[in-house]
Amino acid sequence: MDIKLYIILAITLFTIGMIGVLVRRNAIIIFMCVELMLNAVNLLLVAFSKMHALNPSLSPTVASDAQIFVFFIMVVAAAEVSVGLAIIVMMYRNVHTVDVNFLNRLKH
Amino acid sequence: MNTIFQLAWLIPILPLVGFVINGLGRKTLSKTLVGIIGSGVILISFVISVLVFLQIKQGHTDVIHYFDFIQLRSLSIAVDFKLDQLSGLFLLIITGIGFLIHLYSTSYMHEEDNKDFAKYFAYLNLFVFSMLLLVLGANYIVMFVGWEGVGLCSYLLIGYWFRNSDYTNAAKKAFVMNRIGDLGFLLAVFWLISKIGSVSYDQIFLSANLAKLSVFDITGITLLMFVGATGKSAQIPLYTWLPDAMAGPTPVSALIHAATMVTAGIYMIARSSALFSLAPITQHVITIVGLATALLAASIAIQQNDIKKVLAYSTVSQLGFMFVALGTGNYVAAVFHVLTHAFFKALMFLGSGSVIHAMGGEQDIRKMGGLHKHMKITSITFFIGCLAISGIPGFSGFFSKDSILSGAYEYHPFVYAIALFTALLTAFYMFRLYFITFTGKFRGTHDQEHHLHESPLAMTFPLIVLAILSIVGGYIGVPASLGGHDELSIYLSPVVKSVEQSLAHETEYVLMGLSSVLVILSILFAWVKFRNYKNALPTTWLQKVLENKWYVDEFYQKIVVEPVQSLSVFFNNVIENKIVDGIVNGVGKLVNYSSRQLRWLQSGQVGAYVLLMVLGMLILFFIQLFL
Amino acid sequence: MGTYFSFPDLFIWLPLLAAFLCFVINKEQQAKTIAIVFSLFVLGVSVCSLFYLNDDKYLNFNNVNYIWLKYLGASYFIGLDGTGRLLTMLTALAFPMILIATFNTRQDKPRAFYGLMMLTQAGLMGVFMALDALSFYFFWELALIPIYFLCSKWGGEKRIEATFKFFVYTFAGSLLMLIGIIYVYLHTTGRSFGDGVYAQHSFALSSFYMSQLSATEQTSLFALFFVAFAIKMPIFPFHTWQPGAYDQSPTAVTMILSGVMVKMGLFGLLRWLLPVFPLASIHFKNVVIILSIIGVVYASCIAMIQDNIKRLVAYSSIAHIGLMCAAIFSMNEISLQGALLQMFNHGINIIGMWIVIEIIERKTGVKKISELSGLAATMPVLTIFFVIIAFANIALPLTNAFAGEFLMFTGLYHYNQWFAFIAGLGIILSAVYTLNMIRKVFYGSLNAVTHEVKDISWNEKLILLVIVAIIFFIGIYPQPLIELTKESVSTLLMKLK
């Protein structure tokens, strides 16, 4: 299967995530869009790993590196989600909204 | 070393001691004590000076080393005194006349407060100290110390009545004008140091060292020195301070602004005659400037009505004569005229002081008249002074002026003609002054007339002594043509040599006769015109111009003072505040402004941050991929 | 560490100790006493140090060398040579004079005030003794920072603005110098320390002197250092912080600024600029002299029309400093000797001027020349002192400044006669503004402001008397000070050959 399809899929996902972050003001949606971007990258990593691992000129240890990275990213993302959601919950408790533009002053 | 010479340091130090005692004790010492200390130290200095002079006259001269002022590898300046014929003579003039004027002051200034009286004597002593330092120094630095010192004392004494702001202004003017000259003097000294590496006379005037100087150097050095002399000796263009300096007490005018300090320039040039003789261009300049000053000041003196102003302009004019003598290489005549002028001008200033004293402070001669009846001694001595300054044969001024005139004739007949004309003007304005003041009817108030009286002995005694000196003072320099030996030039010959005079005796007789006859005629003219003087306002334009001193002060105001003033304002308001400080503050403002602008980027909108981040990434991609 | 108890150490640690005591003492008023006692003690040490001139142990760089950051090649390295001795003496002399003369001025929070003052003294002493670039920079800033607090806390109405400008301006200069120091440091050869530690580069002054920099490198480094020193001195056109700072600082601080601190810049030229970058210094000397001379005439002109007496003195100081800078860059024995002599004299004279001005301002509450008049009648003693100091300031013979200015002008003339002539105009202009000020402030008739003023008190008399005595002593016999600095001058000239 051609690598191009994976790349196109990943780029599409990433762009959707990025546009989402840029245009939406709801903190939860922005958060989900960030996750989408992370997963687009994960997808790309797995795809490349799969394709190039078959390449005999590379050593076997290199072949699995990218997939290990994906696990790392998933772990970090999980940690991030817990912190991020907690912040959003705190924000909602304080200002009764999850609109990020409501908190545009860096003080108070 | 000679025993008397070992005491030479006392000559200047004693007046300094007097200054310190009177200055510190101005609150505690009584007037009598102040007077005794003030005059006493000068008297002792005078006695020592006489002893020193007698030694010098026998041919002993010496340079005495005291200590090193500055000692570097490439320059060494010592505090040395030079005792030779020239300084010996000046010592006598300074301490002798200085003593008489101190004596006179004890009476003249007696109405001052105790404190001010002591202050006055302290300053006067300080002046004598500086003047003695000036003539005793064996190098240009010690001379310069005295040179500025006398300027300082002149400043302090002109501004003696410090509550009057005109007086303090005159004091400031005197000091600043002198400073302009001093800069010239200093530059000449720097030039000498950079070429010869020494400042002592003995070193500089060595012919080997003089040979190191090119013609340009010598001309430059002597011209700069002459600039210094124009400041101190009140020549064009720096003469305007001297008439204003009459704001000081009258004895000060006599001592500082007639007899001693203003002759410092003459002394300096006579001292440096070895240099000046090698600079013909400078000599031309000196002659021309001296001549112009003599004529200008004499013309102004004709229309002045303040008794001291007339004498002041007369001083400027006589100093011009001395410079003519210096310029024509006739150094001995210049020194001779310094001497005789010191006698008769001090006499006349003190006489005018006596008049002012009697008139209760009035200085305007239009309000005087007929004073001869009331103050005979003053009147007669003043008359002698007038005769002496006019150059009537037999009086001291005749011999010195004749010597200058014959030198001028030899230099160029045109110079002689102008000088002679100036001498006629001199006789005219001096007798105008005399007749208006002492003859005719009294024109003052009734109170003043009632108050008129002869001055006390302490004031008349100096007048009498000076009058005698004004008569006999000339006999030390009787020229050979009149059967004399010209002892002064023989005495001065080891230090100062005039150019050889080659006039035939017959020519000299003609010149003398001519000047004497014309002078007498001009005195007669003054007698006819001013014998019964009635107040009259100036009528012709010439009289007005003369009365306003050719508007020189106004001219200087426009051409120097105001431009400097506006330049300063321009510097302050435009360059300093707008440009230099503007740039400095501008940098600050720029930082401030750019921060204010950049602050908008920190909008707090998360979306905006992300957008910037994305844009940044896109730009990086773009750079990475396509550039 | 040195084996003997050394003078350089005392000069730094005594003021620091005094500062510490001032900060921690219980009673507010004792701080003043502590500061005075300690500053007198420092003065005593400084006088003693003069007697050890010829002792081998103390000869030339009488130094202390503590290893500080040995892996960097930096050390706490201080020592005294002739120039340093002269300037530490000035500092040691200035502080007690300032503290005693301003004894009658009430400061709030005297503990902090006097503590900061003593801290400044430590910094100044360090600058004049540092033989290691990093120590030098450290002390340079140590002297600056307390001044900032002193001005911004105890100054006049517009103090914040003036102090901010002063601080940022000088600090910017210092940072440029720091860049320069680091650059030169990276081009020095290594230095080994006794215990086998070897640093690749060294901050020591001697290594700086031996750094072989090319002419182009020297040019840019010269600019970095020169700007720092030029701001500190200050010379035209880097001077605009000065009038405001002098005007707005408390007078005691102004005295430190103008009497001692501006000498840091001149000293920097002599120790860190000319010998480290000889090629660039020679290359740029005309530029610097021209700037300085412009400054002389320019500042004198501006001084003539100032109505604020403090600004007038500030501008006159700029003119004098300009002349010293020109003399230093004339680079011959006479001019350098004159500049060194004048650095000391100027410090003494200007402190005297400020003392008088402080007294006038304190007693009348006025610092405008046009509002003052006739003080000679009510304050005759002060007038006498002031006239003497003012005439010393315009270099009348027999006062100290004459010896210095005469030598400087001679040296400058030796280098170029036109420069000497133009700078000489300053002699005339200085007479104009000084006499104008005397005339307006002291002469004339009394007015409402001045008619009830009392003359000065004993402590002020004492200090002014000391100043006048120094003025006359050096004016008549400057040779001792010249002897003191002779060696430094010839060493410097050797480096410039």
The number of angstroms, rounded, from the C-alpha of B383 to the middle of its chain's C-alpha atoms is 25
* DSSP structural state of residue A58: S
- In this structure, the answer to whether residues B531 and B490 fall within a common structural domain is yes
Would residue B35 count as lying in a domain? no
Of B497, B520, B554, the residue that ends a domain is: B554
To the nearest whole Å, the CA of C421 is away from the closest chain B CA by 7
To the nearest whole Å, the CA of B581 is away from the closest chain A CA by 36
Q: Is the Cβ pair B67, C421 closer than 8 Å? A: no
Residue of chain B minimizing CA distance to A107 = B604
Q: Which of B74-83, C74-83, C379-388, C416-425 has the lowest mean pLDDT?
A: C74-83
To the nearest whole Å, the CA of A106 is away from the closest chain B CA by 6
Q: Check if C409 contacts B (Cβ < 8 Å).
A: yes
Regarding chains A and C, contact by 3 or more CB pairs under 8 A is answered as no
C67 or C202: which carries more pLDDT confidence? C202
Alpha helices in C200-307 (DSSP H): 205-210, 215-232, 241-248, 251-255, 262-268, 278-304
**pLDDT at position C5:** 53
Q: Is the Cβ pair C443, B182 closer than 8 Å? A: no
Domain around B191: 162-554
Q: Is the Cβ pair A106, B604 closer than 8 Å? A: yes
**Cβ-based neighbour number of residue B441 at 10 Å:** 9
Q: Are B465 and B100 in contact (CB under 8 A)?
A: yes
Q: Check if B33 contacts C (Cβ < 8 Å).
A: no
Residue of chain B minimizing CA distance to A101 = B605
**pLDDT at position C487:** 83
Chain C positions in Cβ-Cβ contact with residue B568 (cut-off 8 Å):
301-302, 304-305
pLDDT mean over C220-230: 92
- In this structure, the answer to whether residues B480 and B549 fall within a common structural domain is yes
- In this structure, the answer to whether residues B277 and B309 fall within a common structural domain is yes
Residue of chain A minimizing CA distance to B605 = A104
Chains touching C, CB cut-off 8 Å, 3+ pairs = B
Residue to substitute from A19, A21, A34, A97, interface B, most B β-carbons within 10 A? A21
Q: Which of B214-218, B531-535, B575-579, C428-432 has the lowest mean pLDDT?
A: B531-535
Q: B4 by DSSP, 3-state: which?
A: helix
- Percent of chain C surpassing pLDDT 70: 94
Helices A60-95 and A27-53: angle between axes, nearest 10 degrees: 180
Identify the sign of the CA torsion B175, B177, B181, B186. positive
Q: B24 by DSSP, 3-state: which?
A: helix
Chain A positions in Cβ-Cβ contact with residue B611 (cut-off 8 Å):
22
Q: B455 by DSSP, 3-state: which?
A: coil
> Which residue ranges form the domains of chain A, and what is each CATH number?
3-99 (1.10.287.3510)
Would residue B44 count as lying in a domain? no
To the nearest whole Å, the CA of B587 is away from the closest chain A CA by 29
Q: Check if C447 contacts B (Cβ < 8 Å).
A: no
Q: Is the Cβ pair C424, B183 closer than 8 Å? A: yes
Q: Check if A108 contacts B (Cβ < 8 Å).
A: no
Q: Check if A76 contacts B (Cβ < 8 Å).
A: no
Residues 6+ apart with CB under 8 A from C215: C279, C280, C283
Alpha helices in B391-477 (DSSP H): 396-411, 413-438, 446-451, 457-472
- Number of alpha carbons in the 13 Å side-chain half-sphere of residue C440: 17
- In this structure, the answer to whether residues B531 and B570 fall within a common structural domain is no
* DSSP structural state of residue A7: H
- In this structure, the answer to whether residues B321 and B447 fall within a common structural domain is yes
Q: Is the Cβ pair B568, C302 closer than 8 Å? A: yes
Residues 6+ apart with CB under 8 A from C335: C327, C328, C407, C408, C410, C411, C412, C414, C415
Q: Which residues pair with C74 in a beta bridge?
A: C69
Round to whole Å and give the CA distance between C259 and C87. Answer: 11
Round to whole Å and give the CA distance between C478 and C463. Answer: 21
Q: Check if A104 contacts B (Cβ < 8 Å).
A: yes
Q: Which of B404-418, C97-111, C143-157, C214-228 has the lowest mean pLDDT?
A: C97-111
**Count of positions (residues) in chain B:** 627
Residue of chain B minimizing CA distance to C443 = B162
Q: Check if B592 contacts C (Cβ < 8 Å).
A: no
Window 1-30 of A, Cβ < 8 Å to B: 18, 21-23, 25, 30
**pLDDT at position C4:** 47
Q: Is the Cβ pair B190, C410 closer than 8 Å? A: yes
Closest CA to C143 of C276, C277, C259, C275: C259
To the nearest whole Å, the CA of B490 is away from the closest chain C CA by 35
Closest CA to B503 of B405, B369, B376, B356: B405
Q: Is the Cβ pair C165, B588 closer than 8 Å? A: yes
Say which of A18, A25, A101 has its CB closest to residue B614. A18
Q: Check if A100 contacts B (Cβ < 8 Å).
A: yes
Would residue B568 count as lying in a domain? yes
pLDDT tens by residue, B63-75: 999 989 988 888 8
Chain C positions in Cβ-Cβ contact with residue B583 (cut-off 8 Å):
237
Q: Is the Cβ pair A101, B605 closer than 8 Å? A: yes
- In this structure, the answer to whether residues B518 and B592 fall within a common structural domain is no
**pLDDT at position B380:** 92
Chain B positions in Cβ-Cβ contact with residue C397 (cut-off 8 Å):
144-145, 147-149
Q: Which residues pair with C65 in a beta bridge?
A: C77
Round to whole Å and give the CA distance between C168 and C152. Answer: 13
pLDDT tens by residue, B108-137: 888 888 888 999 999 999 999 999 999 999
pLDDT of residue C61 exceeding 90: no
Round to whole Å and give the CA distance between C367 and C362. Answer: 9
- In this structure, the answer to whether residues B287 and B202 fall within a common structural domain is yes
The secondary element (H helix, E strand) that includes residue C139 is: helix C133-154
The secondary element (H helix, E strand) that includes residue C69 is: strand C62-69
pLDDT of residue A108 exceeding 60: no
Residue to substitute from B599, B600, B605, B606, interface A, most A β-carbons within 10 A? B606
Alpha helices in C155-204 (DSSP H): 159-186
The number of angstroms, rounded, from the C-alpha of B56 to the middle of its chain's C-alpha atoms is 27
pLDDT of residue C121 exceeding 70: yes
Q: Which residues pair with C76 in a beta bridge?
A: C66
**Count of positions (residues) in chain C:** 497
Confidence of residue C59 (pLDDT cuts 50, 70, 90): very low
Closest CA to B121 of B11, B259, B264, B252: B252
Q: Are C256 and C93 in contact (CB under 8 A)?
A: no
Q: Check if B602 contacts A (Cβ < 8 Å).
A: yes
Round to whole Å and give the CA distance between B84 and B52. Answer: 9
Say which of B71, B147, B183 has its CB closest to residue C479. B71
- In this structure, the answer to whether residues B429 and B500 fall within a common structural domain is yes
- In this structure, the answer to whether residues B547 and B583 fall within a common structural domain is no
Q: C456 by DSSP, 3-state: which?
A: coil
Q: Which of A78-92, B281-295, B596-610, C26-40 has the lowest mean pLDDT?
A: B596-610
Chain A positions in Cβ-Cβ contact with residue B613 (cut-off 8 Å):
none
Would residue B33 count as lying in a domain? no
pLDDT mean over C201-227: 87
**Tokens, residue B314:** 């007369």
**Tokens, residue C139:** 């002390």
Round to whole Å and give the CA distance between B343 and B490. Answer: 21
Q: Is the Cβ pair C240, B67 closer than 8 Å? A: no
* DSSP structural state of residue C395: T
Chain A positions in Cβ-Cβ contact with residue B606 (cut-off 8 Å):
30, 100-101, 104
- In this structure, the answer to whether residues B492 and B391 fall within a common structural domain is yes
- Percent of chain B surpassing pLDDT 90: 40
Round to whole Å and give the CA distance between C479 and C112. Answer: 40
Of B521, B554, B587, the residue that ends a domain is: B554
Q: Which residues pair with B364 in a beta bridge?
A: B306
The number of angstroms, rounded, from the C-alpha of C303 to the middle of its chain's C-alpha atoms is 20
The secondary element (H helix, E strand) that includes residue C77 is: strand C74-80
A77 or C74: which carries more pLDDT confidence? A77
Question: What ranges do the domains of chain C cover?
Answer: 1-276, 290-497
Window 369-408 of C, Cβ < 8 Å to B: 374, 376-377, 380, 391, 396-398, 402-403, 406-407
pLDDT of residue C56 exceeding 60: no
Question: How many structural domains comprise chain B?
Answer: 2
To the nearest whole Å, the CA of A60 is away from the closest chain B CA by 30
Q: Are C21 and C448 in contact (CB under 8 A)?
A: no
pLDDT tens by residue, C250-301: 888 999 999 999 999 999 999 999 989 999 999 999 999 999 999 999 999 9
Q: Are B469 and B59 in contact (CB under 8 A)?
A: no
Residue to substitute from A104, A105, A107, interface B, most B β-carbons within 10 A? A104
Say which of A18, A100, A105 has its CB closest to residue B606. A100
Would residue B510 count as lying in a domain? yes
Prediction pTM value: 0.88
3-state helix, strand, coil in chain C (%, to 5): 75, 5, 20
**pLDDT at position C57:** 44
pLDDT tens by residue, C13-40: 899 999 999 888 888 778 888 899 999 9
pLDDT tens by residue, C363-422: 888 888 888 888 888 888 899 999 999 999 999 999 999 999 999 999 999 998 899 999
Round to whole Å and give the CA distance between C318 and C302. Answer: 10
To the nearest whole Å, the CA of B567 is away from the closest chain A CA by 53
Q: Are C276 and C110 in contact (CB under 8 A)?
A: no
Would residue B473 count as lying in a domain? yes
Residue of chain A minimizing CA distance to B609 = A22
pLDDT tens by residue, B36-58: 999 999 999 999 999 999 988 88
Chain C positions in Cβ-Cβ contact with residue B144 (cut-off 8 Å):
397
- Number of alpha carbons in the 13 Å side-chain half-sphere of residue A14: 13
Tokens 């300690």 — which residue?
C38
Q: Are B95 and B128 in contact (CB under 8 A)?
A: yes
**pLDDT at position C196:** 64
User: So what's the ipTM on this one?
Assistant: 0.91
The number of angstroms, rounded, from the C-alpha of B226 to the middle of its chain's C-alpha atoms is 13
pLDDT tens by residue, B146-200: 999 999 999 999 988 888 888 988 999 999 999 999 999 999 999 999 888 888 8
**pLDDT at position C297:** 93
Q: B25 by DSSP, 3-state: which?
A: coil
Which amino acid type is present at position B128?
A: V
To the nearest whole Å, the CA of B594 is away from the closest chain A CA by 20
Round to whole Å and give the CA distance between C1 and C11. Answer: 16
- In this structure, the answer to whether residues B441 and B578 fall within a common structural domain is no
Residue of chain C minimizing CA distance to B143 = C397
pLDDT tens by residue, B441-495: 888 788 877 888 888 888 889 999 999 999 888 888 888 777 777 788 888 888 8
Residue of chain B minimizing CA distance to A25 = B607
Confidence of residue C2 (pLDDT cuts 50, 70, 90): very low
Of B554, B579, B601, the residue that ends a domain is: B554
Q: Are C446 and C378 in contact (CB under 8 A)?
A: yes
Say which of C374, C414, C486 has its CB closest to residue B163. C374
Say which of A18, A23, A104 has its CB closest to residue B605. A104
Round to whole Å and give the CA distance between B221 and B213. Answer: 10
**Tokens, residue B119:** 């202050």
**Tokens, residue C102:** 């301003």
**pLDDT at position C43:** 92
**Cβ-based neighbour number of residue B25 at 10 Å:** 15
**Cβ-based neighbour number of residue A93 at 10 Å:** 8
